[in-house]
Amino acid sequence: MKKTHLLVSMLVLTIFSACRNNDENDNENLRNEEVHSKTVNVTNHDGRPFSTGSGSVSGKFVSGPGGGVLMQGFYWDVPEGGNWWNTVKGKLAAWSDSGIGAVWLPPASKAQNGAYSMGYDPTDYYDFGNFNQNGSVETRFGSRTELEGLITKAHAENMQVYADIVINHNSGGQSQANPFTGTSTWTDFSAIASGKFPRSYNDFYKNSYGNNDEGAFGGFPDLCHASPYVQDWLWGRDDSVGKYYKNVMKFDGWRFDYVKGFGPWVVNNWNSNVGGFSVGELWDSNVNTLEWWANNANSSVFDFAAYYKMDEAFDNGNLNALNDDMMWKRNPYKAVTFVANHDTDIINNKMPAYAYILTHEGYPTIFYRDYEEWLNKERLNNLIWIHNNKATGTTSILYTDNDEYIARRNGYNGNPGLVVYINNSSSWQERWVETNWSSQQIKDFTGNSTWYPTTQGDKWVKIQSPPNSYSIWSLNQ
């Protein structure tokens, strides 16, 4: 949801993230730091649904050796009028054909502001635009029938669909006398139209379980996850929110909003009882905090550490910042990388940032407006193809200075990997680098360089990168 860093406005609501809940791998990150050469050996990140194919078949997404890419299928204040589900549905075939394997949708249930809400002020978790409450039948995005049509279409394209889950707070309840506060609070959700998950003051802090949990947001009633009743309705019972979304609505995974507001055990319990991919929006640049949360939540987390380092690198002329620690270096299985989202968009020099996340480990996310409106779609599609087909294996950082960054993906299971060369300077640059390949011709798969060099017997080769751009090299095959 929209928010400021100080959370000073109730109108500002929070959201980010999308990462994956991947199978665990016991390999730890190994780092070997030198003056101009740093190797980060991290386990291969192919944790999403995997197949040995590459590209797409009849417009359907087929995971390549490097996996797939996540699309954030909305932005803040998408057009009102109930057409958004159909808008996204109409783009799914093209997204699938481009190598996008999953789409993250905004909160789908009815919120306090009805047809005007972006969904981050949830009232009735089971009203997907099929009940007349809060001033409308449809949500801002459309009807339940249209949402189900979108999900069905995505599955026909072999794409997954992730729901944005807002369970820190609620909004839109009626006023009731609250014995725990001695005042009236807006915590009466007994008359919600779906009849499912009715709530009262007993289900919000403060109550018999305590005065608060990790954090409230914007003055909204703060849902009490310590309550067995709340737990049962969120993930326990057969028609709980999580199981209903998964088994009835057919969502495949979850993006958890504002996870600073409750303990990671909440997401862990949800995942244990419901299953599916999950990623948490923990807005924190401290990689230790991100790793702690991901491990305790048994979930992926958005890599805010990488996000802020990319801003320093690409906007402030310091590519050495990419040597710093990030979540994808700690555990690529649990890192969802991104360049922008509906909440924050601070990176101006975006194309090299996308070249970075789409050639490195982690689960990369494309922001809707970057893809559909603001950036060069052909160049983004080229990077998505390179990610899905060439970005495999551990990562070795070969060279950095303020203006240049070169890294190698070391390949995996017969896939050759790649070398990415990012150049922030105003002129062409050249470097000798050590590759994965001995005595073989390579090429730049972006087409930015016309060189077709052959590597030496010792695997070294000279490559180049254009000014204020990038090149990505792999075997010419």
Residue 216 pLDDT: 87
Triad 134, 136, 138: Cα angle to 5°: 120
* Percent of the chain scoring above 70 in pLDDT: 88
In a domain, 153, yes or no: yes
Q: How many Cβ atoms from other residues are within 10 Å of residue 196's Cβ?
A: 16
pLDDT tens-place string over residues 262-309 = 999 999 999 999 999 999 999 999 999 999 999 999 999 999 999 999
Choose among 44, 36, 91: nearest CA to 363: 44
Helix (H) or strand (E) holding 164: strand 160-165
pLDDT value for 390: 98
**What pLDDT does residue 53 have?**
31
Query: According to the model, what pLDDT value does residue 15 have?
Result: 33
What whole-number distance in Å separates Cα of residue 343 and Cα of residue 413? 38
Is the residue at 84 inside a domain?
Answer: yes
In single-letter form, the type of residue at position 123 comes to T
Classify strands 122-124 and 363-367 as parallel, antiparallel or unpaired. unpaired
Question: Looking up tokens 């999953």, which residue turns up?
Answer: 102
Q: Are 362 and 331 in contact (CB under 8 A)?
A: no
> Which residues have C-beta within 8 Å of that of residue 271, sequence separation ≥ 6?
21, 278, 297, 298, 299
In a domain, 317, yes or no: yes
Give me Rg for the CA atoms of the chain. Answer: 23
| Residue 81 counted as domain residue | yes
pLDDT of residue 218: 83
pLDDT attached to residue 215: 86
Which segments in the chain show pLDDT lower than 50?
2-57
Whether 85 is in a domain gets the answer: yes
290 is in which domain, residue-wise? Answer: 69-389
CATH number at residue 146: 3.20.20.80
If you ran DSSP here, which 8-state letter would residue 115 be given? G
Angle at 102 (CA atoms; ends 99, 105), nearest 5 degrees = 135
Q: What per-residue confidence (pLDDT) applies to 58?
A: 54
Nearest Cα to Cα of residue 61 among 27, 113, 28, 98: 98
Tokens standing for residue 35: 């003056």
| SS3 state of residue 102 | strand
- How many domains does one find in the chain? 1
- Distance (Å, whole) CA 473 – CA 477: 11
Residue 173 lies in a domain: yes
Q: How far is CA 315 from CA 46, 166, 308, 424, in A?
A: 30, 32, 10, 9
In a domain, 455, yes or no: no
SS3 294: helix
Asked if 118 contacts 106 with a C-beta cutoff of 8 angstroms, the reply is yes
Q: How far apart are CA 154 and CA 166, in angstroms?
A: 22
Identity (one letter) of the amino acid at 261? G
Q: What is the DSSP string of 380-401?
A: HHHHHHHHHHH--S-EEEEEE-
